Every structure is written in C-alpha cells, then in structure tokens.
Amino acid sequence: MSDLTIRPRADEHMQGCVQALAGVHAEDRYPVNWPADPESWLTPRSMLDAWVAVEGPAVLGHLVLTRPGEALAAEVGLPAQRLVSVARFFVRVDARRRGVAAMLLDKAITAAAADGLRPVLQVEAGATAAIRLYERAGWRCVGSSTADWTTADGRAARMRSYVAPSRTNPDETSRGKRV
C-alpha cells in the first residue's frame, strides 16, 4: 500500500521539488528555460498556497496557487478577486500515471472552493498530455492567446486558458451557494 499524500509545501520539501523539476525540465522542457534560482521560481511573489505530493520522503509532484493576472481573468470572464491560478504544477516523470496530478488538482479545487474562489490555469497548447489531464478532470477551455515567450522549438507559445469545474464549498452547502 502506498503512503502517497498531498501536504502543504514546507522548507524541507524544497530540495526534492528542485530535483523533481530538473527531471521534468530534462524530459518535457518545463519550464522552457531553467531558472537561475529554481527555489525562487517555485515560490512566485503572488503565491497564496503551495502543496507537494509525497511518498515517504520523496517529492512526486508540486502545485502552487497564485493570484491571476487581469488578462487571464478577462479571458475566463470572472473578476480576478474571485479566482486563483494554478502555477508551477508538475509531476516527477517516474511518478506519472499514478493519479498524482489529479490529486494535486483536486486539492487546489477544494482549497479554492473553501475560500470561495475558482481555480484557473494556462497551459501551452503543445502540452497535449497536460491538456488531456485537465479535460478528463472536467476543466473547461475558455480561450487561447499568444504568450510573450517562445517554446523550446522557437515558436511563439500559444496558451490555452482553463477554468476548473464548479465545486460546492462544504461549509455553504446548507445555504445552497455555488462557487
């Protein structure tokens, strides 16, 4: 039986997060350019929460919630103050196809709903495995745009914007309020 769990990210997870990110970068070129300071990259200024998927001491995956930009909020059609953005999301290459990504996404949706917020994300159109994951999990594509950076093969990045499936906040169920 696996001891796979989702936990709030702590300082002791950072080395494992950076190692996992290095493997993902080597395999998938995410992020496209390796950051000079990976720990800082994993902790963006707009970060609200961060979680890791761990199995024993091993970090298998990572996800951050941040404040979304106004352009993403406009594309989704909701005010930015009602949204959170999924960012710095990855699963170690050798831990894929075990439900790790789905567990991290579920945690993000549940945490956001508890705060009355709706998660959104952007993904590069060439990330077909990630797109399949989001769409299987009920995320809805609401638009696309061209980013201000280029992909590993030198083309302008085309971003797809997604909004998470609606989830009722358990504390608000009796009042019938939907998030």
pLDDT digits (tens, 9 = 90+) for 147-164: 888 888 888 889 999 999
The maximal CA–CA distance of the chain, rounded, in angstroms, is: 52
Among all chains, which residue has been given the structure tokens 């953005």? 85
What residues contact 90, with CB distance under 8 A and at least 6 apart? Answer: 20, 21, 24, 30, 61, 62
Q: For residue 20, which phi and psi values (nearest 5 degrees)?
A: -65, -45
**pLDDT attached to residue 155:** 86
Q: For residue 135, which phi and psi values (nearest 5 degrees)?
A: -70, -35
169 pLDDT above the threshold of 60: no
pLDDT digits (tens, 9 = 90+) for 113-144: 999 999 999 999 989 999 999 999 999 999 99
The domains of the chain, with CATH numbers, are 4-175 (3.40.630.30)
The answer to whether 30 and 90 are in contact (CB under 8 A) is yes
Whether pTM > 0.75 for this model: the answer is: yes
Nearest CA to 128 out of 112, 110, 151 is that of 151
d(CA 57, CA 66): 26
